[in-house]
Structure 1
Amino acid sequence: MGVSKTGVSGLSVLFAGLFASLMPAKVASGFALPLLMLGDFIAVASYRQHTRWQHLWRMFPATALGVIVGYFAMSRITDRQATTLVGSIICSLVALHAWRRWRLSRGELGEHGWWFAATIGVLAGFATLIANAAGPLMAIYFLALRLPKMEFMGTGATFYLLMNFFKLPFMIHLGLITPASLSAAMWLTPAVVAGTLLGRVILQRINQKWFESTILALAVLAGLNVLRQAWH
């Protein structure tokens, strides 16, 4: 999980899927959030100078709306419905990104319009509250912007920290974060810290082309993994 925050974005949702295989999806979402936020703090400290704030301000209002939608949906849908929906969203957006990238390479499409940021923002906000699964959606957005890897990680780190702080009260109100879950998560904090250190080493050694290919591949795996968890 720590590696995903400072090295290869997208791995965190795979760990979220692992937690979901050990406990109900909604409980796993609350259990993982403090660990994700710890990784966010370290990532922001490492890459804050690379943050592209204009992309954050464009996304955050829509993301906040998505979190609120997810909050009201959480009590009305089952774990299977939640994970199936999130997995389907991720896979659909990966397919859309691949199609658009192919069309762009042929000169048949222009850049994404304002609607793209708004749509990704709402879906990411919803997915993060339901299953801590905003990572692959944001990865698709940042890849579409063609951000260099350092700006990708810096902008992502700041965005995830702000988003997770915003959703924290909602998670507490839903009863998904409790003293017991915090105590259990505390045992994994050394592993998260170690992962962030490893992630920094990996990021320094991977070039831009491999970085983008790895991120896209992980987004595909993440979507399929979420769907697998839904129907396991």
Structure 2
Amino acid sequence: MNTMTLWHLTGWEFAALACAALLVGFSKTAVSGANTVSLAIFAAILPARASTGVLLPILIAGDVVAVLTYRRHAHWPTLWRLFPAVAAGVLAGTVFLIWADDGMVRTSIGAILLLMAGVTVWRRRRAAADEGPDSVATRSGRLKARSYGVLGGFTTMVANAGGPVMSLYLLSAGFRKLGFLGTSAFFFLIVNVTKVPFSAGLGLIDGTSLLLDAALVLFVVPGALLGKWAVDRINQRLFEQLVIAATVVGGLQLLLR
């Protein structure tokens, strides 16, 4: 990180990062899983570990815009249910980053994203087929929240890739668009701000990375405004399909790079 400056990037590389920052804003106010594409772009242009430190403040900027836009639609019981498991996942991710190299980071996150997308599709098809009450629904719901929470905390710490995991959890819990966006907005603002000292301690955030962030964050707001315009024009079924598709694309990009 200490040898990387804004001026070491070519014009095309900076343009790609700017597009990725714009997509972060769009994902925060429209299709949450879409920011896995941003993650893949950052990891392709910057070293994979270093890219997580550059991307984190950009994500926080997008989270602030999303909270201001959808704050009235957050479901706090869901958030409180998730936070303990997420904290455990963040700690596990921090330990993993101490010894994992770039290749291990990319492969692990890509595999997790594809697995979670497959599980979500399977669960939704099974639920549509069964339709009946589940006698162990409460216990199953707690287990699901803990499982997704730990995975979400781990993936968000390791590669800022918790969005797809938590998106899949919220979809599986039956959230509609506005509730989905409001709940995820507060969730990621809190989690991402909490990650800052861990990332700084690992050397992933420093003055140089923040200089690059200062240039890229300007593209987050236009992306968020575009997402706010688009979300009212996307029906629920298409919204869910886009979230899952973005998750699969991001996972494949990480595995195949």
Which whole-Å deviations, capped at 9, do the CAs of 1:86-145 have from their partners, x for residues lacking one?
A: 111111111111111121122188454311110111111111111110011011101101
SS of the residue aligned with 2:251? Answer: helix
Q: Please state if 1:152 is matched with 2:180.
A: yes
| Residue of structure 2 equivalent to 1:34 | 57
Task: Return the alpha-carbon distance in structure 2 between the equivalents of residues 36 and 81 of structure 1.
Answer: 23
- Of 128, 147, 153, 2:156 maps to 128
| Residue of structure 1 equivalent to 2:94 | 71
Task: Return the alpha-carbon distance in structure 1 between the equivalents of residues 43 and 161 of structure 2.
Answer: 12
Structure 1: tracts of 5 or more residues without a match: none
The number of residues matched between the two structures is 229
Native 8 Å contact 1:3 1:196 kept in 2: yes
- Of 193, 196, 212, 1:165 maps to 193
Task: Return the alpha-carbon distance in structure 1 between the equivalents of residues 220 and 35 of structure 2.
Answer: 11
Task: Return the alpha-carbon distance in structure 1 between the equivalents of residues 42 and 102 of structure 2.
Answer: 13
Task: Return the alpha-carbon distance in structure 1 between the equivalents of residues 217 and 112 of structure 2.
Answer: 30
SS of the residue aligned with 1:176? Answer: coil
| Residue of structure 1 equivalent to 2:228 | 200
Task: Return the alpha-carbon distance in structure 2 between the equivalents of residues 215 and 16 of structure 1.
Answer: 15
Native 8 Å contact 2:170 2:180 kept in 1: yes
The within-5 A match list for 1:20-31 is 20-31=43-54
Native 8 Å contact 1:64 1:166 kept in 2: no
For 1:173, give the aligned amino acid: G
Native 8 Å contact 2:177 2:239 kept in 1: yes
Q: Please state if 1:103 is matched with 2:126.
A: yes
Identity %: 41
Which whole-Å deviations, capped at 9, do the CAs of 1:48-105 have from their partners, x for residues lacking one?
A: 0000001100111111111111111101111111111111111111111111112112
| Residue of structure 2 equivalent to 1:9 | 32
Task: Return the alpha-carbon distance in structure 2 between the equivalents of residues 100 and 209 of structure 1.
Answer: 16
Structure 2: tracts of 5 or more residues without a match: 1-23
Native 8 Å contact 2:36 2:246 kept in 1: no
TM-score, reference length from structure 1: 0.95
Greater Rg, structure 1 or structure 2?
Answer: 2
SS of the residue aligned with 1:113? Answer: helix
Task: Return the alpha-carbon distance in structure 2 between the equivalents of residues 212 and 116 of structure 1.
Answer: 19
For 2:255, give the aligned amino acid: L
Native 8 Å contact 2:74 2:182 kept in 1: yes
Moved over 4 A (4+): none
TM-score, reference length from structure 2: 0.86
| Residue of structure 1 equivalent to 2:117 | 94
SS of the residue aligned with 1:41? Answer: helix
Q: Please state if 1:48 is matched with 2:71.
A: yes
Which whole-Å deviations, capped at 9, do the CAs of 1:21-64 have from their partners, x for residues lacking one?
A: 01111100000000000000010011000000011001111111
| Residue of structure 1 equivalent to 2:209 | 181
| Residue of structure 1 equivalent to 2:245 | 217
